[in-house]
Chain A
Amino acid sequence: MQKSLHIDPGKCTGCLQCEMACSYEHEGLFNPSKSRIRVFTFHEEGRFVPYTCTQCDEAWCMQACPVDAITVNAATGAKEVNADTCVGCKVCTIACPFGTVNYSQSTGKVVKCDLCGGDPKCAEACPTEAITYIDADATGIDRMRAWAAKTDNAASA
C-alpha cells in the first residue's frame, strides 16, 4: 500500500516543527529556509497552510528534466532527485505548477520532498495532525466521515 502526505490546513498552528524536522533530516541542521515543506501564514485571514510536493503521477518536474535526474521511488511513489545526475538547470522548477521543486544555491542542485524514504519527518513532528501520512487511496476518508456524521438518519426512518 502506498501512502501519501495529507495536509489539513485547518489544524495547522504555524509552529514550523515540520520545517525543522524536514531540514534536520535532509541538511543536518534546524533550518526552516532549507525545508522542502513550507508553512504559509495568511495573517489577515488567520490561516496557516503547510504546502509541499504532492508527488504527481505524471510529474511535470520528472517529464521536464533533460537528464532524467528525477525518478520514481517504486516503494513510496516519491519523485526523487538524484543529486549526482542533476545539473542544476532549474527547468523542473519552471515546470512544476505548484512551485514545490526549488534550487539550492549552496549545492547547485534542486531539492524537493522525497517522503523521507517512506517515513516523512514532517508528519512525525506535527503536533496537531495537520500533516499525516496515510493510505494514498483514502485521503478523503476523514472528510467523508465528518459529512457522514452530519446526515440525518431520522428523516428516512
Chain B
Amino acid sequence: MAWTKKILRVNLTDGTCTPEPLNMEWAKEYLGQRGLATRYLVEEIDPTCDALGPDNKLIMATGPLTGTMVSTGGRYSVITKSPLTGCVACSNSGGFLGNEMKNAGWDMIIFEGKSPEPVYLYLENDKAELKSAADIWGQSVWAADEALHQAHQDPQLRIAAVGRSAEAGCLFSAVVNDLHRAAGRSGVGTVMASKNLKAVAIRGTLGVGNIKDPAGFMSAVSAGKKVLAENPVTGQGLPTYGTQVLMNVINEVGALPTRNMREVQFEGAHNVSGEAMHEPRKSDGKPNLTTNAGCFGCTIACGRISSMDKGHFSVENKPQYWGNSGGLEYEAAWALGPDTGVDDLDALTYVNFLCNEDGMDPISFGSTVAAAMELFEQGAITTEHTGGVELKFGSAEALCWAAEVTAKGEGFGIDLGLGSKRLCEKYGRPELSMTVKGQEFPAYDPRGIQGMGLTYATSNRGACHLRSYTVASEILGIPEKTDPLATEGKAGLVKAFQDATAAFDSAGICVFTSFAWSLEDVAPQLDTACEGDWSVDKLAEVGERIWNMERAFNIAAGITGEQDTLPDRLRKDAAQTGPAAGRVSDLDKMLPEYYQLRGWSADGVPTAETSSRLNLPA
C-alpha cells in the first residue's frame, strides 16, 4: 500500500478541515504526488480560472514512497495553477515536511477557497485546525517559523510558510519549508498567500507502514542505496560539491548563460563555483561551506550548509545572517551570479539567504534582476526608477539591494516581483525577457546544450531544467553520452526523460537519484511497497500519461503550441565563445519530431488516439 489513503480537504472560505478517502482508482493510474495531485486539480478547477482568485486550489502532496526508508523518500510537491505562467505548476521540495505529513497520516492536503483573515493550518496527526496568523502575517518565513515553534512549544514541528514577498504579490514566490528548502518555482507561494494562508505546521507521530512486501522492500531499498553510494555523481560529486559541481563544468562546455543570456561563458565562474565554496576566505580563513546535509531519508546529501564572511558589506551590521543556513545550489548560484555578472560569493550567499528568508525563487529572481540590469544598461530603466541605485551588470551592491526590496515588496522591488516577462513588457522591451511561457530560464544555455532548448520549449511549467534533464546525457554521459551540439535523437531523448521524471516525481523521491537510478531501480522499490503491479513499462506509461494530462490542462488554459518556443536571442544570436561558438538553438529541427513522437498534432495537441490510449481525463 504505502499510501495512507487519506486526504485532508481544507476549505479556507468556510474554515473547515474534512478528511476524505484517496481515490485509489486514480492512484493506480497516476501513482502519487505530482501525477495524482494534478489529476485532482484537473478534476476540480477550471483551467481558465484566475490563479490568484479563490477558484484556484493549492495541493500539497506526498508520493507513496514519501516517509519510507527509500533513499530521498521525503519529497512533497505543491500543485496549483501558476500566476507566473498560467500553466499547471508543480514545485517539488525536500527537507522534512513531506515525511511529517505522511507520518501524520495524510497523502495530500487540498486547500480551496480563500480565508477571510490570515490563517495557518496546524496539523497534529488526526487533529487539523485553522488558527489565526494575525501575529505572523507580515513576517518573514524565518520569523514565522520561530514564532510557530514557540507558540506550540514543540521543537519537532515541521513548518512550511510564505514570506513577505508572497504577501506583496511577487509572482515568483516560493513555499519554504524547514527554513531553507523550497517548493520554489512558478509562484506557488504567491497562490498560497493569495488564499491568506501563511503557513502549514505539522507534527506526525503515527508512522508510515502498509508496506506490501516488507522483506522484499527492505532488500530493494538496500540495493538502491548501494547503487547511489557506488555511483561517482551521487556517491562523490554531489556530496562533496553539491549541484555546484556543475559551475565550472557548464562554463567549460560553453553553456553557462551570462549577463541575461547574452553570452555563454562567465569569466568569474570559478569564484562562485562549488570548488570556491571549499576554499578558505582571506578575511577569516573559513570556507563558505560548513558541511553537506541530507533531506529526509537522503543518502546522497547534496545540500549545502554555509556561512558568510561577517565583514562582508551586505551583513556587516546584521548578526542575524552570521550563522549557518542553506547555501548555494547550482541553479541559484548561476541566476544570482553569472546571469547578473556578479562573481562575489558572499553576495550570492547573502541573496540566497534572503530568498529563503522571504520565500523567493532564486532562479526567477536572479534572471529578473539580469533583465533589469540590461534594461538599465539600455536606458529603459534609470536611477529615477531605482531611487538612485546603479543597477549595473556585475554590481554586487545592486544585486543585494534588489533582493532586499523584492523580499519585502518595497519600491522598485514591486516591479522586480513581476518577473522578467512582465518587467520587460512594462519597460517596453519584451524581447529582453529570457523566459518561456513567462517563466525564467535555469542555468543551461540551449545554444551549447541543444536538448535543453527542446526541454525548455516544451516544459509544462515554462522554462525549467527539472522536467527533462538532458544535461545528464549530453554533458555527463548518463545513461549514455550524446553530443550536446547535435539535434538528432534529442526529441526522443527529451520525451524519455520527461516521462521518466514524471514517474520519479510522482513516487515521492528526488529526481537527483536519476543520475544513478533508472526506472529499473525505482520499479522494485515501488512494487514491493505498493499494491498493484509497478513494472518499468507501467511507470513509463504513467509518466507519459501525466505529461499529456499536464499538457491538456495548459491547452485548456489557453496556452498552445505557439508558445513552445524560445526567445529570439537564443534562436538567432549565435554563441560567441567556447565549443558552441557560432551556434544558435536549433529548436525548429527538433520540435516537429517531438510532436510526432508524442502522438500530438502538428500544432502540439494530443490526438484523440493518444488521449484514448492513455485514458486521459475527459
Contacts and interface: CB of A to CB of B under 8 A. Distances in A.
Interface stretch (A26-34, A56-64, A70-78, A145-153): A26-34
Given A23-B207, A29-B209, A14 B67 contact: no
A84 interface: no
Contacts of A27: 207
Contacts of A15: 294-299, 301
Interface residues on A, range: 20 to 34
Contact of B103 (A24, A32, A125, A127): A32
Interface string B291-334: 11111111101010111000000000000000111000000000
A14 B218 CA distance: 21
Interface string B85-115: 0000000000010010001000000000000
Contact of A128 (B204, B301, B325): B301
Contact of B209 (A13, A30, A33, A44): A30
Per DSSP, are chain B's interface residues mostly helix, strand or loop, or mixed? loop
A150 B179 CA distance: 39
A31 B301 contact: no
A34 B229 contact: no
A46 B290 contact: yes
Contacts of A13: 239, 291-294, 298, 301, 303
B596 interface: no
Interface in B205-241: 205-209, 214, 218, 225, 229, 239
B69 A33 contact: no
Nearest to A31: B207
User: Which of A15, A24, A33, A47: most chain B CB closer than 10 A?
Assistant: A15
A88 B522 CA distance: 43
Nearest to A39: B294
Q: Which residue of A29, A33, A46 has the most chain B CB atoms within 10 A of its CB atom?
A: A46
Interface in A13-50: 13-17, 20-21, 23-24, 27-34, 43-48
A43 B303 CA distance: 13
B615 interface: no
Contact of A44 (B295, B303, B324): B324
Interface string A3-20: 000000000011111001
The bracket for how many chain B residues form the interface is 35 or more
B140 interface: no
Contacts of A46: 290-291, 293, 305-307, 324
A20 B297 contact: yes
A127 B307 CA distance: 25
B293 A16 contact: no
Contacts of A48: 291, 293
Contacts, number: 86
Contact of B296 (A16, A23, A31): A16
B295 to A, nearest CB: 7
Contact of A125 (B69, B179, B205): B69
A24 B67 CA distance: 12
B203 to A, nearest CB: 8
Contact of B324 (A14, A28, A45, A128): A45
Contacts of B323: 43-45
Contacts of A16: 96, 296-297
Contacts of B207: 23, 27, 29-31, 33-34
Contacts of B208: 29-31
Contacts of A125: 69
A27 B209 CA distance: 10
B67 A30 contact: yes
Contacts of B177: none
B225 A127 contact: yes
A1 to B, nearest CB: 26
Contacts of A30: 67-69, 207-209
B617 to A, nearest CB: 32
Contacts of B306: 46
Interface in B38-94: 67-69, 71
Contacts of B67: 30
B156 interface: yes
Contacts of B206: 29, 31
Contacts of B301: 13, 15, 127-128
B293 A43 contact: no
Contacts of B297: 15-17, 20
A43 B324 CA distance: 6
A13 B74 CA distance: 14
Contact of A127 (B99, B229, B296): B229
Given A13-B301, A15-B301, A17-B297, A33 B156 contact: yes
A24 B70 CA distance: 13
B294 A43 contact: no
B210 to A, nearest CB: 9
A15 B297 CA distance: 5
Interface string B173-198: 00000010000000000000000000
Contacts of B99: 32
Nearest to B229: A127
B225 A24 contact: no
A126 to B, nearest CB: 9
A14 B103 contact: no
A69 B521 CA distance: 45
Given A20-B68, A27-B207, 17 more contacts: A13-B294, A14-B293, A15-B294, A15-B296, A15-B301, A17-B299, A20-B69, A28-B214, A30-B67, A30-B209, A31-B103, A31-B208, A32-B99, A33-B207, A34-B205, A45-B290, A46-B293
15 contacts: A13-B292, A14-B293, A15-B299, A16-B297, A17-B71, A24-B69, A24-B218, A31-B103, A32-B99, A43-B179, A44-B324, A45-B323, A46-B290, A46-B324, A47-B291
A-B pairs, 10 with minimum CB distance: A31-B207, A29-B207, A15-B294, A44-B323, A46-B324, A127-B299, A46-B290, A13-B301, A13-B294, A33-B205
